[in-house]
């Protein structure tokens, strides 16, 4: 049952990420992976908030499995980040690559921390 | 075509998320770092690089495996919350090491996948 909720959330999360990427594609005309960055930072804050909001007991609920492990896990992605950063480096766009890597490395954990705090984590 | 792609991304995302959940059961509080998340992200980055380099011709299959399966399998939100949690527990150096390791190995794995693609 647990995996059923995770799979359902994962399907919705992957489709949302893909749809947002297609929608943001014109904005990414400069070749900077804004879509992945936006999705990842948004998901980091949201998962932090959920992790802070839900008690240990509630984390075994269907809602948490579907929304956290399923939707937010699949909505955000590390594989696209790795490939995009590598591609920027391989194309010799080292400033863009450095900005992308620095934003992904710093802003995500900071936003997750802000989410945890907003969710009431001790 | 785009309905087929949408269905492929949804199916891939469902399978990828379930596989990740199964793999992350190996994350243990006793571990110094969330190795299971790291392993999932590195493996997924390698495979996405390999796919991108090899050029899966069919756009439906490419979207289902890339944006769907591997996008759903790897995760950034869990990584970010784990890094924040280590830091909040006073493990600041460990958190920094986890962040550096995750970012560097994901990029290197994607590059290795691209290079090793047929």
* Minimal C-alpha gap between B27 and chain A (Å): 14
Kindly provide the ipTM of the predicted complex, given to two decimals: 0.95
Q: How do residues B61-114 score in pLDDT, each as one tens digit?
A: 999 999 999 999 999 999 999 999 999 999 999 999 999 999 999 999 999 999
Query: Does B103 touch chain A if contact means CB atoms closer than 8 Å?
Result: yes
Query: Does A38 touch chain B if contact means CB atoms closer than 8 Å?
Result: no
CA distance linking residue A115 with residue B71, whole number of Å: 23
Q: How do residues A53-64 score in pLDDT, each as one tens digit?
A: 999 999 999 999
Structure tokens at B57: 């011709």
Residue A111 pLDDT more than 70?
Answer: yes
């Amino acid at each position: 049952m647990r995996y059923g909720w995770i799979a359902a959330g994962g399907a919705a999360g992957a489709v949302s990420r893909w749809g947002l990427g297609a929608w943001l594609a014109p904005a990414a005309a400069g070749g900077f992976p804004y879509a992945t960055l936006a999705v990842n930072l948004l998901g980091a804050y949201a998962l932090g908030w959920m992790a802070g909001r839900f008690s240990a007991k509630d984390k075994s609920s269907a809602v948490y499995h579907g929304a956290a492990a399923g939707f937010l896990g699949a909505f955000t992605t590390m594989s696209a980040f790795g490939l995009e950063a590598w591609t920027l480096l391989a194309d010799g766009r080292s400033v863009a690559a450095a900005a992308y890597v620095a934003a992904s490395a710093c802003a995500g954990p900071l936003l997750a921390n802000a989410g945890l705090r907003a969710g009431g984590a001790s | 075509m785009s309905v087929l792609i949408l269905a492929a991304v949804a199916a891939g995302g469902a399978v990828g998320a379930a596989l990740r959940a199964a793999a992350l059961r190996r994350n243990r509080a006793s571990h110094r770092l969330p190795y299971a998340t790291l392993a999932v992200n590195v493996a997924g980055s390698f495979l996405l690089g390999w796919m991108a380099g090899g050029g899966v011709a069919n756009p439906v299959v490419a979207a289902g495996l890339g944006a769907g399966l591997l996008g759903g399998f790897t995760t950034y939100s869990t990584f970010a919350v784990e890094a924040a949690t280590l830091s909040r527990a006073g493990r600041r150096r460990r958190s920094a090491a986890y962040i550096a390791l995750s970012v560097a190995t994901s990029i290197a794995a994607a590059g290795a996948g691209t290079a090793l693609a047929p």
